[in-house]
Amino acid sequence: MVHSPKRKLFLDLVRAIFRINSLLLADGDRMAEGVGLTSARWKVIGAVALSSAGITVPGIARSLGQSRQAVQRITDVMQTDGLIRYVENPRHKRSVLVQLTDEGQQVYHSLRNVQDPWAIGLTDDAPVEDIETTLRYLQRLIHRMEKP
């Protein structure tokens, strides 16, 4: 087995991604707790808020790298809680669109008021170019790994 420096760097990167994922989830839970949510619901609210006319459950699942069934369970609870609504999808009769209700919009804005200072604090000393390079590489990995 070849142990190249690139292989070791890549595996170190994978371990760092696992660690950052854990830290992001913990911070997300802590921040979302203030408005009575979990980070899982926060991610769904964010995906819906970033869509202009609504997004389907499968679309949310793809954007978050989650299963459609897991997202459906979360959106069903969020609908019951009055945070989202399902509306008819003119492009697909069986796949409704998910939109934020007025209450969901308020919760999203409350979350942004917590998230924005957190994000600024974590990135204030990082050059924009470093963040852009990291993002491009992670997007390339995602694209390569999603191919069948």
Q: Is 72 inside any structural domain?
A: yes
pLDDT value at 2 more than 90: no
Whether the CB-CB separation of 48 and 99 falls below 8 Å is answered with: yes
Q: Is 132 inside any structural domain?
A: yes
Q: What does pLDDT average to over the chain?
A: 93
CB-count burial class (<10 Å; 0-12, 13-18, 19+) for 3: exposed
Q: Is 1 inside any structural domain?
A: no
**Domain tally for the chain?**
1
pLDDT value at 148 more than 90: no
Name the pTM for this structure. 0.84
Name the residue range of residue 130's domain.
21-146
What is the DSSP track for 15-61?
A: HHHHHHHHHHHHHHHHHHHTTT--HHHHHHHHHHHT-SS-EEHHHHH
Three-class DSSP category at 103: helix
Taking residues 3-21, what's their average pLDDT? 94
**CATH code assigned at 106:** 1.10.10.10
Q: Is 13 inside any structural domain?
A: no
Q: Is 86 inside any structural domain?
A: yes
Confidence grade of residue 35 (pLDDT, cut at 50, 70, 90):
confident
Q: Is 83 inside any structural domain?
A: yes
User: Nearest CA to 78 among 59, 94, 57, 63?
Assistant: 57
User: Nearest CA to 115 among 44, 66, 52, 42?
Assistant: 42
What pLDDT score was predicted for residue 110?
Answer: 94
Taking residues 57-69, what's their average pLDDT? 94
Tokens found for residue 89: 């999808």
Confidence grade of residue 67 (pLDDT, cut at 50, 70, 90):
very high
Confidence grade of residue 29 (pLDDT, cut at 50, 70, 90):
very high
Q: Is 140 inside any structural domain?
A: yes
Main-chain phi, psi angles of 38, to 5 degrees = -105, 170
Q: Is 120 inside any structural domain?
A: yes
